[in-house]
């Protein structure tokens, strides 16, 4: 997400420290200090269940303080970590930094002040002008809209991609469409041999009668004219109309 990338850039620019790794880690490898045991806000678990991933990468550092099993310490993003754990994920997306304790304190202050908009208390609001209040409220609204837009965009891309995959799977299972039927032949161009090859209701005697009728009455205007032939009924006329044109 662009929001997380912006936070990563703030860390790099502020502390001049670049991540040594960005990818997935096993949840069991990460030690969680008490201050990072943060209950996830409403909706976080549902989002992770939907995407099967944390949309907001968290920050960890390498450490040997907690034994071989837990090689990393959670620095920032405890709410997403707890949501991923509740969702049953085995791996989560992280940024891995090599950081000192002093740098960790600086990162916490940096992210907490930049990730959260300025709060307006009853004590502080009386000292602000109407223009200052308007600017602060605009910043809060803009930030909430950016976060919502980014998360919605992720959801829409996932939904469209998933829908396209389902459609393609269905299309792959479908048989190829049947070839178009051959164009009908004009009844005036039919030969006696062709008429005799037809199954019932065109018998060989009827085929000869139809052919002779065409020789003596061409061009006919309607298939109904064949009803004037002896032993030719509606079923034969319907069959001819289905296989020939006039």
Handedness of CA 61, 62, 66, 69 (dihedral sign): positive
* Length of the chain as a residue count: 246
Sequence spans of domains, the chain: 2-120, 185-245
Q: Is the pLDDT of residue 86 over 90?
A: yes
Q: What is the pLDDT of residue 146?
A: 66
Where does the pLDDT of residue 118 fall: very low under 50, low under 70, confident under 90, or very high at 90 and above?
Answer: very low
Strand locations in the chain (E): 21-26, 30-31, 58-62, 72-76, 91-97, 185-186, 244-245
State the chain's maximal CA–CA distance in angstroms.
109
Give the least confident one: 89-93, 167-171, 218-222, 229-233. Answer: 167-171
Q: Do residues 92 and 81 lie in contact, with contact meaning Cβ atoms separated by under 8 Å? A: yes
Q: Is the pLDDT of residue 3 over 50?
A: no
Q: What is the pLDDT of residues 211-222, one digit of tens each?
A: 999 998 889 999
Average pLDDT, the chain: 77
Level-2 CATH architecture, domain 185-245: Orthogonal Bundle (1.10)
Candidates 3.40.50.300, 3.90.1530.30, 3.30.2270.10, 1.10.260.30; CATH matching 2-120: 3.90.1530.30
CA-to-CA separations, 129 to 124, 125, 141, in angstroms, rounded: 11, 8, 18
Comparing 7 with 170, the larger pLDDT belongs to 170
* Contacting residues for 52 by C-beta, under 8 A, at least 6 apart: 89
pTM: 0.41
Question: How far is 18 from 221, CA to CA, in rounded Å?
Answer: 88
Where does the pLDDT of residue 245 fall: very low under 50, low under 70, confident under 90, or very high at 90 and above?
Answer: very high
Taking the CA atoms of residue 199, residue 201, residue 202 and residue 203 in that order, the dihedral angle to the nearest 10 degrees is 80
Q: Do residues 202 and 236 lie in contact, with contact meaning Cβ atoms separated by under 8 Å? A: yes
Common-topology check for domains 2-120 and 185-245: no
Q: What is the pLDDT of residues 157-201, one digit of tens each?
A: 777 777 777 877 877 887 877 888 888 899 999 999 998 898 878
């Amino acid at each position: 997400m662009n929001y997380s990338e912006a936070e990563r850039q703030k860390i790099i620019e502020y502390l001049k420290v670049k991540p040594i790794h960005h990818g997935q880690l096993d949840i069991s490898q990460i030690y969680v200090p008490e201050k990072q045991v943060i209950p996830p806000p409403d909706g976080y678990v549902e989002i992770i269940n939907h995407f099967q991933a944390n949309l907001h990468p968290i920050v960890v550092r390498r450490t040997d303080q907690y034994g071989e099993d837990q090689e990393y310490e959670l620095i920032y993003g405890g709410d997403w970590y707890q949501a991923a754990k509740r969702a049953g994920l085995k791996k989560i997306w992280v940024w891995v930094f090599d950081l000192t304790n002093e740098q960790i304190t600086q990162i916490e202050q940096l992210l907490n002040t930049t990730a959260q908009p300025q709060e307006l208390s009853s004590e502080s609001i009386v000292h602000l002008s109407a223009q200052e209040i308007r600017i602060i409220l605009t910043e809060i609204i803009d930030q909430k809209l950016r976060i919502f837009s980014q998360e919605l965009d992720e959801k829409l891309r996932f939904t469209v991609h998933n829908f396209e995959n389902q459609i393609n799977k269905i299309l792959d299972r479908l048989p190829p469409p049947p070839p178009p039927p051959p164009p009908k032949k004009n009844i005036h161009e039919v030969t006696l041999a062709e008429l005799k090859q037809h199954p019932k209701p065109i018998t060989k005697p009827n085929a000869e009668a139809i052919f002779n009728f065409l020789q003596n009455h061409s061009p006919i205007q309607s298939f109904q004219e064949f009803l004037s032939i002896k032993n030719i009924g509606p079923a034969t006329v319907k069959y001819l109309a289905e296989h020939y044109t006039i």
